[in-house]
Structure 1
């Protein structure tokens, strides 16, 4: 792990190349069931193509100066669907339809039996990442609360029981990833802000079960949604569920802060956690100046001690053009270095 102040990382995803995915199809939604038509490469060669694109993503992160890299989530159609649809008890072939308050219809998997893991879903991903970087390596998993909110329960008939069943399989997966060499394991729990009432009842309980006996640093990531899908004008300046995460066992909390211009005073309530602070506005099509990003880092340091602050983009970079993503990461790393020098 990096030994210096203000280490840099990514939230998880990195842009998939145009030769690998149909980005026009990808841009229409965040799939909850499989979206096989997104891939431009046919199945016999798809795994090899994904491996090649993963190496490119790792190389880009390293060249930009990222201290804690991911595999870019290159093999995933979304941050959650690949894991969810690999589980027993999940029917993704006959999806349910969830209608959002805005009237948008989204196909989601149905829970039709006991949720169990057939095999380690991301183990090969972690092993591949470990072989292809000497830097600290992060792997991400969808969190159990979010998984439960992205499926229709036709079996347990108890929303907390569904979340806890997902927590069991996430915990088994996290254990395998830790043994495969993960330096950091992150749970993506964006849906705690979508349903804060349910989150207050059992999200922390589910997160703690998912991370039980995991000894490497752990992160819970929360956000308001991809900038390409959720415009900044609709993002509030505060989270309806955030300070409650002080009670979870994760060592770090990762937040989107730059695009929504979050009031960082709330972070005082998370004084027992390290903070992975989002300092890149992914809704801005331009690469922010180093000085702008550096000032966002300094604003974080007003409420978070430097030894507890990790520098990151707001969210995953999946929907950005690759050149933009690389430029933003490079500027972020330069900004972190500039602020780090102020402590010398």
Structure 2
């Protein structure tokens, strides 16, 4: 049998239970430094609690009918900070502050030495996921360009050199994750579109270094930010997209449902597979399967069914769990509707 057409997947995160994290603290932003006060469970029992939450996320994704699942990122305070702050050369204890584009001051790690990976960070996460599902399993890592945008560099004074060291660290981790049973490796690179001019200089080179020698399918995820954090109108196009056709990643993940993206941009990504966002995370209502099917059909006007993977726009961690589950079920059922039409 061939590969399932319109294979459904998730971007990465799933809602963490209220007994695990303080969701009021979680709602204040996406931390760059560690945010250990977010956890409700004391340290001696935290890993066990995270394991239990991970099992809940896995079972929800399986029950919803998702084809390629993750661990829900239950052990993370944000998509990036757990890996990014675990590397040598990073001072997370004495953070700097930067002013973001919204004018808010954000604590960020300082780069005080050469960036190196000194040991596994997400290896046990992948081993736990692999041991607890027979579904195809994906694990995500923050991309080198994005990590380079979330720090204060006090060592390199050369953004490209810094990002290439990040890329080497990501590559070492990704190789171990494949050995642990990862079926798909995804790099989250939302900052590509925030700084497209700098991205054009070296982002593709850094991404290719991060994915060098990875033998399973690889994904680059782009988005305009979490719907719960980035409110208001989003752009209807990406400022850094055609360039990703030059990466060695086989799949590009893009947010489409909330910003109502002009899907004509998909032609820029040929011959990549496209993880297309067809679930709007800004809408508290759960989509009907037919609504999802309509968004998938719109994508199929530009991409063949063998190259389209329906997904949510972004990570789901800021949603109520019941809403997230309902949206995933609609995703699965909507894809099934279109598969039947293609049969």
Partner of 2:134: 134
TM-score by length of 1: 0.99
Distance 2:142 2:162 in 1: 14
1:234 deviation in Å?
Answer: 2.9
1:291 deviation in Å?
Answer: 1.1
Distance 1:109 1:66 in 2: 36
Query: What is the aligned length?
Result: 343
Is residue 48 of structure 2 the alignment partner of residue 32 of structure 1? no
1:2 deviation in Å?
Answer: 8.0
Residues 24-53 of structure 1 show CA distances to partners (whole Å, capped at 9, x for unaligned) of 000001000000000000000000000000
TM-score by length of 2: 0.99
Distance 1:301 1:111 in 2: 44
Contact 1:2 1:136 (C-alpha < 8 Å) held by counterparts: no
Residues 93-124 of structure 1 show CA distances to partners (whole Å, capped at 9, x for unaligned) of 11110102321110000110010112110000
Distance 2:187 2:144 in 1: 8
Contact 1:108 1:151 (C-alpha < 8 Å) held by counterparts: yes
Distance 2:91 2:220 in 1: 27
Partner of 2:81: 81
Distance 1:193 1:94 in 2: 28
Distance 1:137 1:2 in 2: 18
Residues 121-154 of structure 1 show CA distances to partners (whole Å, capped at 9, x for unaligned) of 0000000000000000000000000000001110
**What is the 5 A alignment of 1:193-342?**
193-231=193-231, 233-342=232-341
Partner of 1:61: 61
Partner of 1:70: 70
1:209 deviation in Å?
Answer: 0.1
Distance 1:70 1:271 in 2: 26
Q: RMSD between aligned alpha carbons?
A: 0.9
SS of the equivalent of 1:119 reads coil
1:290 deviation in Å?
Answer: 1.3
List, as ranges, runs of 4+ consecutive aligned residues in structure 1 with deviation greater than 3 Å: none
**Is there any run of 5+ residues in structure 1 with no aligned partner, and where?**
none
Partner of 1:172: 172
Contact 1:2 1:67 (C-alpha < 8 Å) held by counterparts: no
1:260 deviation in Å?
Answer: 0.3
Distance 2:308 2:108 in 1: 36
**Is there any run of 5+ residues in structure 2 with no aligned partner, and where?**
none
